Structure formats: C-alpha cells, structure tokens
Amino acid sequence: MEITRIRALRGPNLWTRSTAIEAVVQCQDGECDYAALPGFEDRLRARFPAIGALQPHGADQVLSLAHVLEAAALQLQAQAGCPVTFSRTADTLEPSTWQVIVEYTEEAVGRLALERAEALIQAALIDAPFDADAVIAQLRELDEDERIGPSTGSIVDAAVVRGIPFRRLTSGSLVQLGWGARARRIQAAELDSTSAVAESIAQDKDLTKRLLHAAGVPVPLGRPVLDADDAWHVAEEVGLPVVVKPQDGNQGKGVTVNIGTRAQLDAAYAVAREYGDEVMVERFLPGHDFRLLVVGQQMVAAARRDPPQVLGDGQHSVRELVDIVNQDPRRGTGHGTALTRIRLDDIALARLAAEGLTPDSVPAQGQRVVLRNNANLSTGGSATDVTDDVHPDIAARAVAAAQTIGLHICGVDVVCETMLRPLEEQSGGIVEVNAAPGLRMHLSPSFGRARNVGQPMVDALFAPGEDGRIPLVAVTGTNGKTTVTRLINHLLSAHGLRTGMTNTDGVWANGRQIDSGDCSGPKSARNVLFHPEVDAAVLECARGGILREGLGFDRCQVAVVTNVGAGDHLGLNFIHTVEDVAVLKRVIVQNVAPGGFAVLNAADPLVAAMAGVCAGKVIYFAAERHHPVMATHRAQGSRVVYVDGEHIVCAEGSWRESIALRDVPLTRGGAIGFQVDNAMAAIAAVWALGLPWETIRRGLSSFSADGDNAPGRFNVMDHGGATVIADYGHNPDAMRALVQAVQAMPAARRSVVISGAGDRRDEDITEQTQILGSAFDDVVLYQDACQRGREDGEVLALLRRGLSGAARADYVTEIQGEFAAIDHALARLAPGDLCLVLVDQVEEALAHLQRRCAEASSEATS
C-alpha cells in the first residue's frame, strides 16, 4: 500500500462540509481485499482493538487496505478525544486506487493520524510491534497544542451559535470573527477595540492601584520597591503580613502571599525578580481569592480560587497524593484543559517545608496540605463558581475598576472573606486588574455551575441580529463564470458598495487590484474576506481550488452556476465524466445559507438538478421562458429570469420587471447569446441580494465587454475596417458559443487564431478545431510557451487532426508563438473581414492586439 498524495481540505468540499484529509492510496496485488490476507485482521485488532467494525459502503463491496486506513485514521483521532465522525473511501477508475477522506478538527492531528494509521497497517502486515496507546497519547498532546485554548474557544463557540464565521489568523489565539468591513478580531479574551494604553496600565500594578484608589475603589496599601531592604521597609510600613509580586506579572507567576518574616520576604523578593525587574510589596488582605469577570458594563461571572492542595488519607505521601489528583482528565500541562496539573517545584517544596513536610511525608487523614500560597489555575489551583453570591456593591466596584483602567473585558482580582457583603464592611479590596483574563475557571469550574462567558463577549462585538457577514456571491460553471463575476461586482459597485472580487485574472478590493494571476481558489477568497474595506464579495470558484482545498468560506448568500455543458478538464484529478463535473460544481449550491439563493441555468439539466441540494431558494434563468423547468418554477410562484422578445424579464408570480437588451451593451443588443445568459445570471444574483432595479439598470448600461470590464471575454476591436474579437474560450462548449456569436456578425472572410491547453484530453483538443473548421475560412494554429506536460508539437498535431475534412477552412498554418500568430492573422485581414483570436496570455495578448489595431487605424487615416 502506498499513499501517493495527501491534501488538506480546509473548507466545504466535494465530500463533506467538514475539514478533512484526502489521500490517494494505491494497493498492491493481494491488498485489494484485506480479508484475503492470512491473519491480517487478527493482528490489526490485537494492536488497535478500538478500530471497530469495518463496514463496506455497499452490499457487495470488497474492503481493501485503503478502507482499513480510513477506519484507523478516524478512530485514532476519536480515541485521542477529537470530535470527528466522517470518513469515506471512494473508488476511482484507476486500477487498485482509492481516495480516502477522513475528517479532522486540527490539520496537524489529521495528518499525523493518517501517518500513524499507515504505520499500524504496515505493523499488522509484517507482524511488528505497534504501541496504540502511545500513538493516541501523542495525538492527544498534539491536539491540545494545536487547538484553540478554552478561553478563545468559548468566544468562538458563542460566535458559531450566532452564525458568525471565524478563522484563526495565527497558530495562537488571534482570531477573526466575521468578514470584510464587518469583521472583528479577538486575541484570547481581549477585543480589538481595547487600547494598548489600557492594557499597559493593567500591566503596571502600581499605576493600576493608584488609579483605582483615586476612583474610590478599595485597594491594599503598598508600592514598588528598589531592593530587598526597601521591600522590608515597605512591609514594616504597611504592616505584616504582606504580598510580594512582580509589578507587571501575570497568571500568578512570581507571587508570594502571607509573608510574615524577613527571611520569607527575601526569598519571595528573589522569586519575584525572576519574572520582572520591578517588584511590588503590599499589605496582605486576609480572606479568599476571588476573580470577577467584567464584560462591558456588567459583571458576568465570579469564582473563588483555591490554591493547589491535597487532602491527606494517612496512607499516601504528598507526592503520591499529587499524582492521584493529576490523574483527573480535566488537568493538563498547559492552558488547553479546564485545570492545570499540580507541580512539585521549588515553590511547592518551600511551602511544604514551611509546614514541616516533604514530598515523601504522609499527611494524616483529613489533613489539608497547601502547595502554594497563590490560587491561580495556571499553577494547579481550583475554582468554585460564586456568581450568584456576589453582592451588588462588589459587582459595581469591579465594573468601576474595569472602566477606570479602560478594559472592555477584565478580570478583577478581589481578596475578602465573602462575596455576600460589601468590601468596605470586611476590609477587603481589589488587588489586581487583568487584561485578557483566563476564562477556564468560569467555563469549567471545579465546583459549581459553568458560565457561558463567551456569549456576552460576542454580544460586546456584534449588536443583536448581526452575524458579521457581508453579502457573498459564489460563481462557478464551465464557461462564463469570470464575466458573470465581473458583472455582479460592477452592479454591486454601482450600488455604492465597496466590493471584493476574485477571478481568473486577479483579486480586487474596493476597486484596487491587490493580486494578479489565476486567483479563483480558496486562498484568494480568504484574502478578500480578511480585507477591512470590503462590504460585499463576489468570488469565482473554479474546479481546481475546490478539489485542492475546498471552499474559502463556510457558506454563501448567493451561489451562481452558469453551466456545465460538456464539462472541462475531464480526465484530471479523478473527474472523468460530465456528471463528475456537476457533482463538483454543486458544492457551492450545497453551501448556500438557508435564507440565500441558488441561481441556476434551467437549460442545462445537470445545473437545474442542483436545486435539490440547495438549503435556500432557487432562481432559474434561461432564454426560453417556456422551458419546462422555467414554467414549473414560475407556476409555483418562484423567481425566474428569461428573454421575452428584446427584453430580459425577471418574474415572480404575477410580478414582472423588464430590462431592454439594447440597454445591456454586454449582449450587443441581444446578438451574443452566451452574453445574454451571463447577463441573466448576474441580474438574478443581484436581485437575490435585493439591489434596487434602477441601480441594476444603471450598472448594466455602463458595463461593456471591453478590455477593462471583461478582458478576454468577447472583446471587439476594429483593425482598419476589419473586426477583431479576442476571447479566452478554451473548450468545445466555448467554441460552439463563439461560433454562434460570430455568425450573427457580418464578414466577408472569417479567420481564427487558436492554440490548445495541454492539460485537456486529446478528444477535447481535437473537437475544438472540428467546430472551428466548419465556421472559419482561415485557421492559424500556434503553440504557446507552456505545453502543460505535452511533448513539443503534440498539441498542434491534435488541433490539425480536428481540421481534417473541415467543411470550410481552406487555409491552415502553424506559427510558433502567440504574438507571431496574431500578427500573421492580422496581416491577412482586409476591410470587412472578421478575426477571432483565442488568447492564451490574456493581458499581454490584449495589449498587443490593441497596439496593432491602433496602428492599423492610424495607417487607414494617414
């Protein structure tokens, strides 16, 4: 068995809406039926019993080692605690080759699980050892390292409940919620609106305390110190016992409390200096350590924090009791779990020594052994929810503290005897104010009720009813998708929206091109959705990107499928039939939002059938209004777009809106049939978005098929009285549409300049010139610089084969190079002729043609 390719599908894809690893697996002779391998299944299950039953997808299906790989990769992740459920092994037309798809929640974990699943199979094949427990532990540890921490995760989960999209911007806790101009960003429990000044103040504990004291908030006496002697002087000044801590510390690091002697203070000062150059000494407040969480104008949760401790049983040593406590599955090594493991470090040893104990001491039954003076969860402490006990005056003091510092989300540390009485009545006070507070103690307290603190944080970012989304239109199809994308973008811009657009020519944001080349994949889509100056997005979704990585978004408001026709790129990436193409293209329709629309070509049966997988509504378009799909849909009161005489008509029930074709320059008065289809698709899309009809009319009238609006999409130019048309058509369906279009245009003699893309099937390349040879007198063949895996001259030979027996072509020649071929064809033109140039390098070829046409016009007038 060999894995020949692995892909990470990071968005909705051909197989599932979930993220997944897709692997191409080739099995050797004898591996296509694992049951026929003597003893293999017994050895497999002995090494990994949790693999479970291997179920075939069909009644008569024989399971190969690829199917075993699927089951093992999924179950290894599941045993490691990953919430994964989907997997599939798909047959291919290649002998002994399968596509294995396994869901993942963290890409690195999914890749490692697949790698370890392969190792498991190899171990079972050769009867070698395989430590499944160690692998599962490795996967669990990696998952803990990779996944979003509980604090950030609670905010993300709350956003998902509200339908707000999210994407991690780093491997850490920086996350974007929402898209484009409506996006907000968080880092852990900190909002993008929180100022760096407020965060800086919170880190300076002395400044924080002085500001709170000035605002009337009770705080302990104390100040920063210069050295250990100065620390002792402050301790005597404020009165023992005292607390020593770094001035800009966090997570309780370097904090020592309840210091009553000079020796203890010197040791505590040395510890604090390890975490910062500046150290504070302040009065120790008796009581419990409480954390109050403030979000905006309200206190949303409170917890009492207890230091790490163990309870003696008269039998086990302190070290053994710590090991027992650390067996709690909620305790981990970092911040990715609800609790942190207790450590017997130097601080814990010193605390034990102060009580006359060592790690090997055996505490008496019921004896409480405290291992640290501070109660932070990050050092092994525990938490008890006390939200319902907080006195209104204490809550008000916490909110006042947060507002005084300027923090939108704030962890307020309070020391007092109880939450039931005001601080002033019990000599309590606020000892710290924390930016980006940890939320674990509220999300998963050791005792008491868990609090959904992510929800108020999301509510602070997005007003009620807002989901952070901008209008998103996804466009796919075999032909016309780039023109439709550009026209929709133009119409949205005419409405005053700042648009983001991706297509095969580049990426645009707010009218400015920010990338070039073929940008119809998910990476470019994500770049647009990250852009802060985008109010609406129009994204071309080509087959390659969907196959390679899935969609760059979770769902769209409008999905447009222009056509499937005879398909394109057949024979590549296991897409062999036109039905395979349709299944791939309908991915965007499957991911239409429930309140959105799919815009589908009713005249294409494979496209029309996609309505069945759409969660939203459907708008059909077709030139023929009496088409059965159109007639049925309209009779049901649903939306349709069609041609009636010299008008494009949009109808819903008895309501109609009409747009004259003469006012749609793209269609040349309705003469260019495929451009009429493109215009209908674009109109339907912006109708679904609710654009005003006056805006739609104005936008259509100002969009023409020139090199600026639609480069390489039936751009018409004049060459000394001859008509030159530049188009990027590159498959048989496009050739048929172009032939139909140019036949409607008068010409004395017709010529065409064409090459072929080497990554098409032989029959697809040949069919293009079969179509053109019946419609053009001159055929100029050229070979471009990139043959896409073909041998030199191979594509030209296939194009010539298609011209054998051509009904019309009486002049055929071959030219090396695109520009030389264009110049040769232009030199043969006479006034009244027509030349169709099928460009390969769109931008460069258009510039070349425009120069030649300008030169011809200049010569004609001189």
Pairing relation of β-strands 382-385 and 298-306? antiparallel
- Residues forming a β-bridge with 245: 280
* Cα 614 to Cα 261: distance, rounded to the nearest angstrom: 73
Quick one: which of 559, 605, 566, 565 has its CA closest to 586?
Answer: 559
Least confident of 158-167, 228-237, 705-714: 705-714
- The first and second tokens of residue 33, run together, are 């039926």
C-alpha distance from residue 186 to each of 189, 292, 369, 481, 649 (Å): 7, 20, 39, 36, 46
**Cα angle 447-417-421, degrees, rounded to a multiple of 5:** 100
Final residue of a domain: which of 346, 372, 398? 372
In a domain, 763, yes or no: yes
Q: Please report, as a single letter, which amino acid is at residue 487.
A: L
By percentage, how much of the chain surpasses pLDDT 90? Answer: 78
pLDDT at 696 > cutoff 90: yes
**The domain spanning residue 602 has which CATH number?**
3.40.1190.10
Pairing relation of β-strands 184-187 and 166-168? unpaired
* Cα 471 to Cα 526: distance, rounded to the nearest angstrom: 14
3-class secondary-structure state, position 437: coil
pLDDT at 414 > cutoff 70: yes
In a domain, 428, yes or no: yes
What integer pLDDT is reported at residue 708 of this predicted model? 83
pLDDT band at 788 (very low <50, low <70, confident <90, very high): low
What integer pLDDT is reported at residue 115 of this predicted model? 98
Are 161 and 271 members of one domain?
no
- For 58-102, what is each residue's pLDDT tens digit? 656 789 999 999 999 999 999 999 999 999 999 999 999 999 999
Cβ-Cβ contacts under 8 Å for 327 (sequence gap 6 or more): none
Q: Please report, as a single letter, which amino acid is at residue 306.
A: D
* Cα 851 to Cα 853: distance, rounded to the nearest angstrom: 5
Quick one: which of 736, 729, 737 has its CA closest to 712?
Answer: 729
- Do the Cβ atoms of 769 and 800 come closer than 8 Å? yes
- The first and second tokens of residue 830, run together, are 């006479």
Number of domains forming the structure of the chain = 7
Q: Which residue has the higher pLDDT, 784 or 421?
A: 421
- The first and second tokens of residue 396, run together, are 């008000």
* Cα 227 to Cα 234: distance, rounded to the nearest angstrom: 11
Token pair 């050892």: residue: 129
In a domain, 357, yes or no: yes
Are 450 and 476 members of one domain?
no
Are 503 and 631 members of one domain?
yes
Distance of CA 325 to the CA centre of its chain: 39
In a domain, 707, yes or no: no
**Cα angle 676-590-641, degrees, rounded to a multiple of 5:** 25
- Residues forming a β-bridge with 6: 23
- The first and second tokens of residue 761, run together, are 């099937």
Are 456 and 558 members of one domain?
no
246 backbone dihedrals φ, ψ, rounded to 5°: -65, 145
3-class secondary-structure state, position 597: strand
Are 499 and 416 members of one domain?
no
In a domain, 159, yes or no: yes
Final residue of a domain: which of 90, 116, 146? 146
- For 511-549, what is each residue's pLDDT tens digit? 999 999 899 999 999 999 999 999 999 999 999 999 999
Q: How far apart are the first and last CA of the chain?
A: 73
Q: How many CB atoms lie within 10 A of CB 441?
A: 31
Q: How many residues make up the chain in this entry?
A: 862
What integer pLDDT is reported at residue 329 of this predicted model? 84
What integer pLDDT is reported at residue 354 of this predicted model? 80
Q: Which residue has the higher pLDDT, 374 or 33?
A: 33
SS3 annotation, 549-594: HCCCCCCEEEEEECCCCCCCCCCECCECCHHHHHHHHCHHHHCEEE
pLDDT band at 347 (very low <50, low <70, confident <90, very high): confident
* Cα 620 to Cα 629: distance, rounded to the nearest angstrom: 8
**The domain spanning residue 450 has which CATH number?**
3.30.470.20
Among left, alpha and beta (phi > 0; psi -120 to 50; other), residue 484 is alpha
Average pLDDT of the chain to the nearest whole number: 93
Are 77 and 119 members of one domain?
yes
Q: How many CB atoms lie within 10 A of CB 197?
A: 10
pLDDT at 419 > cutoff 90: yes
Residue-wise burial string across 652-677, b where 16 or more C-beta atoms lie within 10 A, e elsewhere: eeeeebebebeebbbbbebebebbbb
Domain that holds residue 271: 221-283
Are 543 and 672 members of one domain?
yes
pLDDT band at 376 (very low <50, low <70, confident <90, very high): confident
Are 647 and 790 members of one domain?
no
**The domain spanning residue 235 has which CATH number?**
3.30.1490.20
pLDDT at 251 > cutoff 70: no
pLDDT at 832 > cutoff 90: yes
pLDDT at 183 > cutoff 70: yes
- For 800-817, what is each residue's pLDDT tens digit? 999 998 999 999 999 989
HSE-CB of 802 using CA atoms within 13 angstroms: 26
- For 533-592, what is each residue's pLDDT tens digit? 999 999 999 999 999 999 999 999 999 999 999 878 777 788 889 999 999 999 999 999
- The first and second tokens of residue 256, run together, are 């020592």
In this prediction, residues 139-164 reach a mean pLDDT of: 94
In a domain, 247, yes or no: yes
Q: Please report, as a single letter, which amino acid is at residue 473.
A: V
Final residue of a domain: which of 465, 492, 520? 465
Token pair 């027996």: residue: 805
* Cα 476 to Cα 721: distance, rounded to the nearest angstrom: 37
Which sign, positive or negative, has the C-alpha torsion 392, 394, 395, 396?
A: positive
Are 576 and 595 members of one domain?
yes
What integer pLDDT is reported at residue 787 of this predicted model? 65
pLDDT band at 862 (very low <50, low <70, confident <90, very high): low
Are 409 and 291 members of one domain?
yes
Q: Give pTM, 2 decimals.
A: 0.88
- Do the Cβ atoms of 119 and 130 come closer than 8 Å? yes
Are 565 and 442 members of one domain?
no
> In this structure, what DSSP letter does residue 447 have?
B
- The first and second tokens of residue 696, run together, are 């739609």
- The first and second tokens of residue 852, run together, are 């030649």
- For 701-750, what is each residue's pLDDT tens digit? 999 888 888 899 999 999 999 999 999 998 999 999 999 999 989 999 99
Distance of CA 537 to the CA centre of its chain: 15
**The domain spanning residue 808 has which CATH number?**
3.90.190.20
What integer pLDDT is reported at residue 276 of this predicted model? 85
Are 197 and 65 members of one domain?
no
- Do the Cβ atoms of 57 and 88 come closer than 8 Å? yes
In a domain, 365, yes or no: yes
pLDDT at 31 > cutoff 80: yes
* Cα 105 to Cα 858: distance, rounded to the nearest angstrom: 63
pLDDT at 781 > cutoff 80: yes
- Residues forming a β-bridge with 649: 642, 658
Q: How many CB atoms lie within 10 A of CB 140?
A: 17
pLDDT at 338 > cutoff 90: no
In a domain, 66, yes or no: yes
* Cα 104 to Cα 15: distance, rounded to the nearest angstrom: 13
What integer pLDDT is reported at residue 127 of this predicted model? 96
